[in-house]
């Protein structure tokens, strides 16, 4: 919950004089915290910082300017050499170049994308000026996007907007899309958001050439290390070979209209075993599990070491019930193996099946992992692990949502899948059976949003309860009460798109971070609710619950009765729960203190009639917490 006048109102309630206006996170909106060029760059460029206008930040336009001088390339190259020396991975190199571009050349963001031959797309890692990272995927399919033009023509392309990246939180700016060419082969593109690209164009091109060479060298090194398809410890296929086998089997399943299953075994407590008895004992158990699985599968099945303590099996022409039968047999066989000092081997098991679970190869593995995490959470019954099939669990179950988040968090950087995007897409595709089902799905989605911030767990459900109570106290029709109750549950749904480093920041937000935070009502209304026709009547609640009675709120600065009644009700309930809840910087207030602040803000931030009615019922609500 963020509301501009909170600190100011609190000071008034305590009889203090204050000229500051702060949000609920203690952010002083009168101060800015610009990134100031320092170090060598002051000798090189004397470049001034600027913030570009963002299409989503309506009404917040900033002047774009930059003073340029001749660049001493010899000094710049010396500095770059110091920064990038010793980098061993692509990610390390990406972040090193990003820091140079943003902090030294004053770019607004950078993006690095490598071409994926299998999926015919370029997967991007995008880093903005405050260090937030995003992912995006652009298909190479004959479009006229600047990314495809640069990749195909192998020449630098320019665009006046970065909207083609479909990342709504980037400040909009002109961009240069520079191809990454290694020995006459274009392996991807590098993008820099810089309205003054020409000033440093030669330096950007030099860095793209260096990055291309670095990527090619690391890839060649990786190929040397992966010159075999076999895992050295277990003798099973390695992860790369598993991908090849699964791709081949899925193609075969498509042609012949048959099913193919994936089973993933996770050996429990390996980390603790390594800690207690040494890595040799952990390796002994992993090898034993691999041997038992090799002995128990059919000749046309393929087993592979999927991760450090995970083993996957590809089962051609096998449905989920048949895969579950095999998994039960292998689990029983492993439980009969007693290891000195450790005891019986215990595993968690997840299964997914093509095409029942999904027709996408990457998601087939993700669903098997998700099912395995759910199996881990369910533990054991009668000494045996619970085997979970992706076809059987409810996506919106709390455990399933948590497991899904764990899998996506582990994999999104490599395959370009975002937990937030996947969650919203699943919400949009969910077939709503009735009002009760809708409330169940919405409640789970709201819980997932609250879970992004450990200090606001249960916030949405509490605001919904308070809003319902206030609506009933006003004797509103039952239909309106139910709408307000559901809208309040989703009032912060737009926070699903706010970067966690902004959402969870315990200290004051910078100007730039605050502008990002203020977008959550618009994101919730337009990105999450708009595609669901049955939820259109909730849009005014979600979009306008941060508007203020005096017109000082956001996103559209509505005033007085211009603000929908339902949004005004939720605004009061939202503020009250924030006041009585613990925060990183203060303890929750008493009911009396919270009501005092609401009264001071009546007619300024909140509808005074609603505040008066809410204060009358607040005591009963407070005792229910």
Joined together, the tokens standing for residue 623 give 């005792």
Task: Read off the pLDDT of each residue in 242-270 and give the average, rounded to a whole number.
Answer: 93
Task: Read off the pLDDT of each residue in 380-408 and give the average, rounded to a whole number.
Answer: 68
Spatial contact of 113 and 189, defined as CB atoms under 8 Å apart: yes
Q: What is the mean pLDDT of the chain?
A: 80
> Residue 339: its pLDDT value, please?
87
* Percent over 90 (pLDDT), the chain: 40
Task: Read off the pLDDT of each residue in 80-105 and give the average, rounded to a whole number.
Answer: 85
The CATH code that applies to domain 419-622 is 1.10.3210.10
Residue-wise pLDDT for 517-557, tens only, equals 999 999 889 888 888 787 889 999 999 999 999 999 999 99
The CATH code that applies to domain 239-398 is 3.30.70.270
**CA distance linking residue 135 with residue 328, whole number of Å:** 38
pLDDT band for position 89 (50/70/90)?
confident
> Residue 499: its pLDDT value, please?
78
Task: Read off the pLDDT of each residue in 302-310 and give the average, rounded to a whole number.
Answer: 90
- Measure CA 351 to chain center: 25
pLDDT above 70 for 560? yes
**CA distance linking residue 135 with residue 167, whole number of Å:** 8
**CA distance linking residue 495 with residue 491, whole number of Å:** 9
- Measure CA 56 to chain center: 19
Count other Cβ atoms within 10 Å, centred on residue 128: 22
> Residue 78: its pLDDT value, please?
76
pLDDT above 80 for 242? yes
> Residue 198: its pLDDT value, please?
86
Residue-wise pLDDT for 98-140, tens only, equals 988 888 888 899 999 999 887 889 999 999 888 888 888 899 9
pLDDT band for position 374 (50/70/90)?
confident
Give Cα separations from 523 to 503, 528, 616 (angstroms).
14, 7, 34
Q: What is the CA radius of gyration of the chain?
A: 28
Count other Cβ atoms within 10 Å, centred on residue 356: 14
Residue-wise pLDDT for 148-179, tens only, equals 999 999 999 999 999 899 887 788 889 999 99
Joined together, the tokens standing for residue 207 give 């860095």
The fold of the 73-225 domain, in CATH, is Beta-Lactamase (3.30.450)
* Nearest of 400, 390, 576, 608 to residue 488 by alpha carbon: 576
pLDDT band for position 58 (50/70/90)?
very low
* Nearest of 119, 121, 112, 122 to residue 91 by alpha carbon: 112
Domain ranges of the chain: 73-225, 239-398, 419-622
Q: Within 13 Å and on the Cβ side, how many CA atoms surround 427? A: 31
Task: Read off the pLDDT of each residue in 11-39 and give the average, rounded to a whole number.
Answer: 38
Task: Read off the pLDDT of each residue in 466-475 and give the average, rounded to a whole number.
Answer: 95
Spatial contact of 529 and 490, defined as CB atoms under 8 Å apart: yes
Q: Phi/psi of residue 112, each to 5°?
A: -130, 120
């Amino acid at each position: 919950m963020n509301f501009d006048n909170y600190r100011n109102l609190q000071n008034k309630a305590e009889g203090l004089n204050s000229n500051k206006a702060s949000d609920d996170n203690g952010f002083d909106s009168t101060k800015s915290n610009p990134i100031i060029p320092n170090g060598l760059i002051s000798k090189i460029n004397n470049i001034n910082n600027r913030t570009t206008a963002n299409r989503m930040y309506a009404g917040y336009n900033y002047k774009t300017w930059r003073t340029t001088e001749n660049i001493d390339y010899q000094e710049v190259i010396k500095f770059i050499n110091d920064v990038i020396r010793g980098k061993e991975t692509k990610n390390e190199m990406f972040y090193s170049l990003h820091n140079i571009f943003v902090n030294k050349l004053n770019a607004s963001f950078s993006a690095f994308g490598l071409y994926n031959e299998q999926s015919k797309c370029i997967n991007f890692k995008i880093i903005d000026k405050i260090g937030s990272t995003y992912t995006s995927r652009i298909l190479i399919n004959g479009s006229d996007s600047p990314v495809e033009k640069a990749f195909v023509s192998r020449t630098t392309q320019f665009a006046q907007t970065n909207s083609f990246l479909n990342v709504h939180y980037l400040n909009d700016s002109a961009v240069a899309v520079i191809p990454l060419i290694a020995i006459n082969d274009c392996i991807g593109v590098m993008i820099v958001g810089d309205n003054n690209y020409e000033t440093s164009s030669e330096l950007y091109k030099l860095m793209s050439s260096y990055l291309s060479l670095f990527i090619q060298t690391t890839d060649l090194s990786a190929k040397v290390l992966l010159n075999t398809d076999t895992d050295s410890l277990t003798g099973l296929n390695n992860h790369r070979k598993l991908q090849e086998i699964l791709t081949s089997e899925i193609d075969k399943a498509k042609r012949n209209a048959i099913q193919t299953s994936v089973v993933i075994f996770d050996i429990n407590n390996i980390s603790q075993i390594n800690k207690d008895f040494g890595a040799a004992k952990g390796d002994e158990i992993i090898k034993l599990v691999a041997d038992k699985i090799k002995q128990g599968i059919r000749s046309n099945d393929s087993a592979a070491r999927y991760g450090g303590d995970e083993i996957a099996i590809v089962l051609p022409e096998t449905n989920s019930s048949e895969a579950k039968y095999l998994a039960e047999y292998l689990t029983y066989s492993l439980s009969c193996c007693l290891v000195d000092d450790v005891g019986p081997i215990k595993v968690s098991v997840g299964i997914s099946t093509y095409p029942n679970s999904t027709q996408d190869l990457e998601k087939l593995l993700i669903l098997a992992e998700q099912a395995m995490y759910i199996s881990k959470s369910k533990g054991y019954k009668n000494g045996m692990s619970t085997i979970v099939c992706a076809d059987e669990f409810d996506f919106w179950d709390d455990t399933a949502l948590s497991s899904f988040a764990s899998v996506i968090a582990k994999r999104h950087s490599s395959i370009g899948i975002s937990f937030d995007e996947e969650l919203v897409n699943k919400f949009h595709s969910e077939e709503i059976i009735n009002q009760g089902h809708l409330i169940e799905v919405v409640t789970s989605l709201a819980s997932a949003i609250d879970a992004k911030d450990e200090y606001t767990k249960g916030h949405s459900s509490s605001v919904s309860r308070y809003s319902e109570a206030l609506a009933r106290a006003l004797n509103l029709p039952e239909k309106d009460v139910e709408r307000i109750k559901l809208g309040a549950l989703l009032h912060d749904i737009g926070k699903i798109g706010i970067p966690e480093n902004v959402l969870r920041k315990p200290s004051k937000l910078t100007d730039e971070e605050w502008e990002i935070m203020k977008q959550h009502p618009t994101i919730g209304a337009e990105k999450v609710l708009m595609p669901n026709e049955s939820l259109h009547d909730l849009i005014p609640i979600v979009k306008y619950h941060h508007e203020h009675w005096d017109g000082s709120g956001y996103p559209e600065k509505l005033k007085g009765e211009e603000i929908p009644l339902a949004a005004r009700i939720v605004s009061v309930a939202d503020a009250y729960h924030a006041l009585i809840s613990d925060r990183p910087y203060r303890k929750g207030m008493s009911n009396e203190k919270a009501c005092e602040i609401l009264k001071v803000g009546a007619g300024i931030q909140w509808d005074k009639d609603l505040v008066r009615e809410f204060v009358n019922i607040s005591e009963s609500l407070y005792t229910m917490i």
